[in-house]
Structure 1
Amino acid sequence: MSWLWGGRKPPLPENFSEFVPPTEGGGSSGSNGGGNDNKKRDGAMEAYRFDSSALERAAEAAKALEKSANSKDYLELSRQQEITKQNELLKQSKEFEVQARQMELQVEKTRSEERIKQLREQANLDKQKVQYQDQLARSRYDDQLEQQRRLNEENLRRQEESVQKQEAMRRATLEHELEKRAELDLKRIEREVLSKGKVERDNQDLTLEQIRLKAKEDRETRLESIKSIGSLVGQGLHTFLGDEQQVRMAVAGLVAVSAGYFAAKGSLSMAFRFLEARLVKPSLVRETSRLSLTDTLKHPIDTCKKIVWRFKGVEDTLQGVILKPKVEAAIRDIALETKNCRKAKGIYRNVLLHGPPGTGKTMFAKKLARNSGMDFAIMTGGDVQLMGDKSVEAIHKLFEWARTSRRGLILFIDEAESFLIRRHSGISQNLRDTMAAFLSHTGDHNNRFMMILTSNIPTVFDEAVINRIHDAVEFGLPGLDERTLLVGHYFQEYILNPASSGKWRIKVEGENWTEVCKEVAKLTEGMSGREIAHLALDWQMKTIVTEKGELTRELMLERTKVAMERKKKTLLWKKAQQDEQSHFRARPFRARRSGRSSRTYLSATLVEAVKAEGGASESPIPSAS
């Protein structure tokens, strides 16, 4: 509408002939071809024909608008609409530019991605090509190695064949040479034998004459030698016996040599026994605090420990030993008596400790030796039987060695019933001799050594052995209070001390261990002190191997129940063994009672002793408990 109000004029057409309508009579109507051409031309011109009705309507509208009172408003509205239209067109052109730019960026991005993809594919192709070339090179190298190996094998095979052929030729040559040499040797020996036989046959008379002459000369030479020796000996004896002074000197010399020989032999034997008794530990002694030359040379570290033990301060006799109050009082009395006897150089008393194993008998003997300042030696009765014929000599050496102690010696004999049982016809002569040697050394009171015997069956001792025992103390199984103290003691030793030192991987937290120890003490009825110590050691080992290294109440109770089950099985096995032994030993005992001989009378006596111990029979041994 802007050109309508003079704002912008429409361009004038350069060729107005386009707007001229075509003539209607342009050709003859009679011809068919001309009619068709006219129709086509009319249709073409119709498209360029100018319609003036629109201009007329526009002119009328312009006149009406000029006459209208709101013509300025209409004009302003038209102008605003034109501006709005232009802005919209400008906005659309900007949007089209942005879209074109985005399309260019998208095309560039697509081209970049395609280029990257092509580069990656090219890199993959190059990599595959390199790998393929490497594979080809490796395959080529392997083929070369295989060909070289085959060539080497072929060369080696040819060399071996050549060597074998040469060896075969050499062997054939040697065999041929040996055969020829053997033939020549046979022929040579044959010729030599024939010639030698011919010579011997020809010289037989001369050979016999030479043998006779040689034998005659030998006989005459021997006769002359015998005659000369006899004459010399006879002259010497005649001269020696004719001079009484020489006879006396010869006899005195022989007597002196004999006396010196036997004196040296006896003195050396006595010196050897003296040194052996003081420097060599007897074979029956398993453990001792005394120092010996052989142990010093073999075990220097143990010797240093013994020296430290000797100079260590005196400790309480029952330190670490937990017993019933009655037994503890008896033990303290024995320890005090032993200590005072050593100070006063008095007579030592022999003690019998009887009770189940693991109740503290050996520990008490060691503590007693340290408390009283004496040495100790530990032996086992079973070792005496194992020595056989040498047991008597071993007993003599043991007591001679014990008497040489300057500080006094506590001789601890474990399982003494093994060789100190009642003497009767059922035991062997060797055991009789061993007991006789033992009794000969312990018959008198002495201030050199003190004996402590231990036994599980004290009623089988011989009467002579019982007469040599002054005190007897029964070490029974610990009660509830003693077990509580034992559990606490070994818990402190094996659990708390390693945990506090930090050397062991043990954690103890979050439990009232006093109550736990009391529960364990209630569960361990029938256990000895040694078994409780083993139980505490089992707690330690099981705690170390756990993942966190933490000891819990459940673990302690579980391991305690396992130990009690094992204890019950052990008691059942022991009972079954005792029943079996009673079954096999009672029949020979009955046979002896019926008058028939038996070699197992000792076994029957042991069975009776066990039954007597289990019953209400009293032991003839004086008891301090």
Structure 2
Amino acid sequence: MMSWLFGMNKGQPGAGDIPGLPLPPPPPSGGDDGKGGGDAKIGDKSGYRFDSAALERAAQAAKELESSKHAKDALELTKLQEQSKQLEFQGKIKEYEAHMEQLKVEQVRAAQEEKRKTLAEETKQHQQRAQYQDQLARKRYDDQLIQQARMQEEQLRKQEESVAKQEQMRKSTMEYEADLKHKNKMKRIEAELRGKAQVDRENQDLIREQIRLKAAEHRQTILESIKTAGSVLGSGFQTFISDWDKVTATAGGLTLLAIGVYAAKYGTGVGARYIEARLGKPSLVRDTSRLTVLEAVKHPIKTAKRLSSQPQDALSGIILKPELEERLRDIAIATRHTKKNKGYYRNILMYGPPGTGKTMFAKSLAQHSGMDYAIMTGGDVAPMGREGVTAMHKVFDWAQASRRGVLLFVDEADAFLRKRSTEVISEDMRATLNAFLYRTGEQSNKFMLVLASNQPEQFDWAINDRLDEMVEFSTPDLSERERMVRLYFDKYVLKPATEGKRRLKIAQFDYGAKCREIAARLEGLSGREIAKLAVAWQASAYASEDGILTEEMIDEKVSDAVKQHSKKVRWQQEQDVRLLGNLKDFKTAKDASTFTPPNSIAS
């Protein structure tokens, strides 16, 4: 403190020498007051400095301090401040030393980091050098492989050239040997021919003599044979003519032989036609319950069961609308009583979409009434051509020969019973239709005619005149669909699952509720499609790993069936549109000689 008052600082470091300490203010300039403040100059030594103004201030302060009653306290306070400043100065020194130590540590850390980077760089250089050496080694190895491959190719080429040369030499040798053999063979053949020609020339006279002798002997033998045969035949014919009994017997035998041949020929034809009419099945009949001798011999047990079977309900296993079932049951009862009383049968037309039970009811009607059924398809008549008339007469002759009566069911009847006034029907089809109309012109007590069609409006008017009753079969409603689903679910799923012998089981779910749900989804589907859906459930269970039919599998098949039905309906609509367009084109161009009806219409 005193040194600061007197402006002297010697032997102690300055405030500016310690980092962080402020420099003391510069001394004021003396000006022109003549006190020598402005003339003071700093000596060469930076550690000693004298300030007269500071000395005066210090003297003034000392006088005031001595006269003050707090001089002692000020002195103590000054000492304390000096000690505090010294302590603060020492702390600054310690901080400086710590800072220096930290700098040293940072320098060591920097040196270590630099060393680490140097090592990493050296390692990287070593790795790059190793990779480069590896690449060089690989390249040298690849070059060696390429060189070896080239050497092998060269050796192989040389070997191939050597083999080719050897093969060429072998071929040349073989050709040379073959040429020599051929020349030797030709020389040998030429020598043999020359020798043979020479021998022939030497033996020519002898050979001519031998030929002449053989010809004379052969001619003599033939003349003697002719003379002997003539004498024998002449004497025999003379003897036969002289004996009139033999002549008469020979003529009668030849006459009887001719009569027998012709009688056997025509009698066999008549018998065959009779057997075919009585026992055989006509070619137009696809299926029949009528027994033939051949089937009775092949299947005796089946024949015995059929003969011993009793008439059953006509609607057994058939699900239809209640009003339709009532009407069909009346038809079945009337047909059965007609059969018992040997009355005349009524002809029926059943029309509606396919798969609605027409064929099923026709078979059941025949079995219920005790008749035989015969099923023929209208599409089979067109390919018969000119033979259609004969085939149609054979069908009705066969039906007339039945003792039990025949229910003749014609499926797809509109295929050949079309209007005769249209120009799309062929002459053969028109002749067959006329034969059908001729055989069905009157009521019969031998056969009952049942027609099934999807388009009855295409029938010829004469066909409509021969129909006694028309029954419409429509697609099942919700209640009928539910009954069908339950029936076929029980037939194709429940019964096989309860038998225990088949690989079929059913998961646990509410069967009744499921059947109602399925029936609601199957709107528009026919009975045949529902039956096929039940068969699909069974097949799906058989195809599974554990043989268990789950609810998810049933829903999947139902969805597939609905989609397929929608596609079929769309295809049918498109076909109807095309058919309508073809009909319009046909009506427009019916006078043109070059117009050809479409196959769909002509069929």
Is this a same-fold pair by TM over 0.5? yes
Answering whether residue 349 of structure 2 is matched by residue 352 of structure 1, we say: yes
Aligned-partner Cα distance in 2 for 1:546–1:206: 98
Alignment of 1:18-97 (within 5 A): none
Bigger mean CA deviation after superposition, 255-264 or 189-198: 189-198
Instruction: Quote how far apart the aligned CAs of 1:381 are.
Output: 2.4
Matched letter for residue 453 of structure 1: L
Answering whether residue 330 of structure 2 is matched by residue 333 of structure 1, we say: yes
Question: Secondary structure, in 3 states, of the residue corresponding to 2:571?
Answer: helix
Matched letter for residue 549 of structure 1: I
Q: Under a length normalisation based on structure 2, what TM-score does the superposition of the two structures give?
A: 0.60
Matched letter for residue 270 of structure 2: M
Question: 1:598/1:248 Cα in 2 relative to 1: closer, same or farther (>3 Å)?
Answer: farther
Partner of 2:262: 262
Partner of 1:549: 548
Deviations 1:368-391 (A, max 9, x none): 122112222223222334455655
Aligned-partner Cα distance in 2 for 1:181–1:561: 84
Question: Secondary structure, in 3 states, of the residue corresponding to 2:506?
Answer: coil
1:459 alignment partner, one of 447, 457, 482: 457
Matched letter for residue 368 of structure 1: L
CA contact (8 A) 2:540 2:549 kept: no
Aligned-partner Cα distance in 2 for 1:205–1:550: 105
Instruction: Quote how far apart the aligned CAs of 1:264 are.
Output: 1.3
Instruction: Quote how far apart the aligned CAs of 1:263 are.
Output: 0.9
1:415 alignment partner, one of 407, 412, 416: 412
Question: 1:517/1:208 Cα in 2 relative to 1: closer, same or farther (>3 Å)?
Answer: closer
Question: 1:603/1:558 Cα in 2 relative to 1: closer, same or farther (>3 Å)?
Answer: closer
Deviations 1:305-330 (A, max 9, x none): 45424423322111221222332233
Partner of 1:146: none
Answering whether residue 476 of structure 2 is matched by residue 488 of structure 1, we say: no
Aligned-partner Cα distance in 2 for 1:230–1:420: 73
Question: Secondary structure, in 3 states, of the residue corresponding to 1:329?
Answer: helix
Partner of 1:314: 311
Deviations 1:546-589 (A, max 9, x none): 8793654x765664444323212211111112222333443233
Partner of 1:589: 587
Question: 1:213/1:437 Cα in 2 relative to 1: closer, same or farther (>3 Å)?
Answer: farther
Partner of 2:286: 286
CA contact (8 A) 1:317 1:368 kept: yes
Matched letter for residue 520 of structure 2: K
Instruction: Quote how far apart the aligned CAs of 1:185 are.
Output: 11
Answering whether residue 379 of structure 2 is matched by residue 382 of structure 1, we say: yes
Partner of 1:449: 447
Question: 1:223/1:550 Cα in 2 relative to 1: closer, same or farther (>3 Å)?
Answer: closer
Partner of 2:534: 536
Q: Percent identity?
A: 43
Instruction: Quote how far apart the aligned CAs of 1:357 are.
Output: 0.8
Question: Secondary structure, in 3 states, of the residue corresponding to 1:266?
Answer: helix
Aligned-partner Cα distance in 2 for 1:558–1:388: 47
Deviations 1:229-278 (A, max 9, x none): 56666666666567665554433322211110111122223333444445
Question: 1:398/1:209 Cα in 2 relative to 1: closer, same or farther (>3 Å)?
Answer: same
CA contact (8 A) 2:351 2:455 kept: yes
Aligned-partner Cα distance in 1 for 2:219–2:419: 77
Instruction: Quote how far apart the aligned CAs of 1:335 are.
Output: 1.1
Alignment of 1:578-617 (within 5 A): 578-592=576-590, 594-596=591-593, 598-600=595-597
Matched letter for residue 198 of structure 2: K
Aligned-partner Cα distance in 2 for 1:585–1:352: 26
Aligned-partner Cα distance in 1 for 2:235–2:601: 79
2:477 alignment partner, one of 458, 463, 479: 479
Partner of 1:521: 519
Alignment of 1:110-509 (within 5 A): 187=188, 193-212=193-212, 214-215=214-215, 218-219=218-219, 222=222, 246-295=246-295, 300=299, 304-305=301-302, 307-387=304-384, 391-423=388-420, 425-502=423-500, 504-509=504-509
CA contact (8 A) 2:424 2:601 kept: no
CA contact (8 A) 1:354 1:474 kept: yes
CA contact (8 A) 1:413 1:453 kept: yes
Question: 1:200/1:454 Cα in 2 relative to 1: closer, same or farther (>3 Å)?
Answer: same
Aligned-partner Cα distance in 2 for 1:436–1:330: 32
Aligned-partner Cα distance in 1 for 2:206–2:562: 107
Aligned-partner Cα distance in 1 for 2:463–2:223: 76
Aligned-partner Cα distance in 2 for 1:250–1:296: 48
Question: Secondary structure, in 3 states, of the residue corresponding to 1:405?
Answer: coil
Unpaired runs of 5+ in structure 2?
A: 1-172
Question: Secondary structure, in 3 states, of the residue corresponding to 1:520?
Answer: helix
Question: 1:227/1:389 Cα in 2 relative to 1: closer, same or farther (>3 Å)?
Answer: farther
Aligned-partner Cα distance in 2 for 1:208–1:537: 94
Question: 1:548/1:588 Cα in 2 relative to 1: closer, same or farther (>3 Å)?
Answer: closer
Aligned-partner Cα distance in 1 for 2:256–2:427: 42
Question: Secondary structure, in 3 states, of the residue corresponding to 2:363?
Answer: helix
Question: 1:393/1:460 Cα in 2 relative to 1: closer, same or farther (>3 Å)?
Answer: same
Aligned-partner Cα distance in 2 for 1:186–1:597: 77
CA contact (8 A) 2:288 2:373 kept: yes
CA contact (8 A) 1:499 1:508 kept: no
CA contact (8 A) 1:589 1:598 kept: no
Aligned-partner Cα distance in 2 for 1:233–1:548: 91
Instruction: Quote how far apart the aligned CAs of 1:221 are.
Output: 5.1
Aligned-partner Cα distance in 1 for 2:182–2:576: 86
Question: 1:389/1:296 Cα in 2 relative to 1: closer, same or farther (>3 Å)?
Answer: farther
Question: Secondary structure, in 3 states, of the residue corresponding to 1:569?
Answer: helix
Aligned-partner Cα distance in 1 for 2:326–2:553: 37
Question: 1:199/1:490 Cα in 2 relative to 1: closer, same or farther (>3 Å)?
Answer: closer
Aligned-partner Cα distance in 2 for 1:304–1:532: 33
Aligned-partner Cα distance in 2 for 1:493–1:203: 101
CA contact (8 A) 1:589 1:604 kept: no
Matched letter for residue 583 of structure 1: G
Aligned-partner Cα distance in 1 for 2:598–2:563: 36
Aligned-partner Cα distance in 2 for 1:278–1:432: 28
Question: 1:583/1:335 Cα in 2 relative to 1: closer, same or farther (>3 Å)?
Answer: same
Aligned-partner Cα distance in 2 for 1:238–1:439: 68
Instruction: Quote how far apart the aligned CAs of 1:450 are.
Output: 2.2
Q: Under a length normalisation based on structure 1, what TM-score does the superposition of the two structures give?
A: 0.58
Aligned-partner Cα distance in 2 for 1:223–1:464: 82
Aligned-partner Cα distance in 2 for 1:566–1:260: 66
What is the Cα-based RMSD across aligned positions, in Å?
Answer: 4.1
Aligned-partner Cα distance in 2 for 1:351–1:421: 17
Aligned-partner Cα distance in 1 for 2:559–2:190: 99
Aligned-partner Cα distance in 1 for 2:193–2:290: 84
1:572 alignment partner, one of 564, 570, 577: 570
Matched letter for residue 548 of structure 2: G
Question: How many residues align structurally?
Answer: 426
Question: 1:473/1:605 Cα in 2 relative to 1: closer, same or farther (>3 Å)?
Answer: farther
Question: Secondary structure, in 3 states, of the residue corresponding to 1:353?
Answer: strand
Question: Secondary structure, in 3 states, of the residue corresponding to 2:471?
Answer: strand
Matched letter for residue 571 of structure 1: V
CA contact (8 A) 2:377 2:412 kept: yes
Question: Secondary structure, in 3 states, of the residue corresponding to 1:589?
Answer: helix
Question: Secondary structure, in 3 states, of the residue corresponding to 1:315?
Answer: coil
